[in-house]
Amino acid sequence: MILAAGFGLVIGVTLGLLGAGGSILAVPALVYGMGEPVRQAIPASLVMVGLSAMGGVVPRLRQGIVRWPIAGVFGAAGAGAAFGGAAVGRLVSAQVLLLAFAVVMVAAAVRMLLGPTEPRGACTVSGGRVNWRSCLPRALGVGAAVGFLTGLFGVGGGFLVVPALVLMLGLDMPAAVATSLLIVTINSIAGLAAHWDAVTELDYPVVAAFTIAALAASVASGRLAGRVDADRLRRWFAYLVIAVAVFVAVQALINTSALT
């Protein structure tokens, strides 16, 4: 339980500070750190990811920076796609799933290493309102892609949502992080519903220790988000994600018997 709580703290802190990235470590931590089968690690990850993201949203609600209509559009597109991702996940082996997951981890790390993006406002109009006529197709596309990844791998997808909100909709970083956390919450709930058949098989004490620690860390770190060097944290976390991705890929190739 102590080990599960330790993993949860790391993931919760990163999710609360950056609004993205932390959940990418949840499945590897559960599979290789806690010995959970892949098929149970994915819904367990979704429980942790969803509640941690929800905890990260709470301190930002008082700041009034969550963009609810935008979260609704992204979340609606992602919720349906999560079921598609879960269905695809059932068709492939655990080895293939983890190898593909390692690729996604590297992509997430590269995205984080690129650093914060500058708002371009390509889809905004005067007053900060969103011109949905031109933006809706792209918003739905990104939302669906994130939802698919959520259902397939049990990740929140904030590493895609945050830059999309900044580049496509012109949100500043605080608003993008806050809105991303709400989108991750919506997608995680949908992904968990898509994996409902595996919920009864979860190791609930491990999931509880993991989730409580992550939720507490996410809430606490969300209040400190403006006081830390987020760029340096993002870079070092990206290096950690790459290292874990290499480990996951190697283990998936040489230790297939331990994956199911």
Question: Which residues of the chain have a pLDDT value below 50?
Answer: 258
pLDDT tens per residue, range 126-136: 555 777 777 78
CA 197 to chain CA centroid, Å, is 22
What pLDDT was estimated at residue 228? Answer: 62
Q: Return d(Cα 181, Cα 55) in angstroms, integer.
A: 9
pLDDT tens string 63-119: 788 888 888 888 899 988 999 999 998 898 888 888 998 998 888 788 778 765 565
| Domain limits for position 137 | 2-258
CA 52 to chain CA centroid, Å, is 10
- Residue 258 CB partners (closer than 8 Å, separation 6+): 251
- Tokens representing residue 101 in the block: 């997951």
What is d(CA 23, CA 21) in angstroms, rounded to the nearest whole number?
6
What pLDDT does 84 receive? 92
Q: How confident is the model at residue 81, as a pLDDT? A: 92
Whether this model's pTM surpasses 0.85? no
CA nearest 178: which of 74, 35, 259? 74
State the total domains in the chain. 1
| pLDDT score recorded for residue 88 | 92
pLDDT at residue 226, as a whole number: 58
Amino acid 230 reads: A
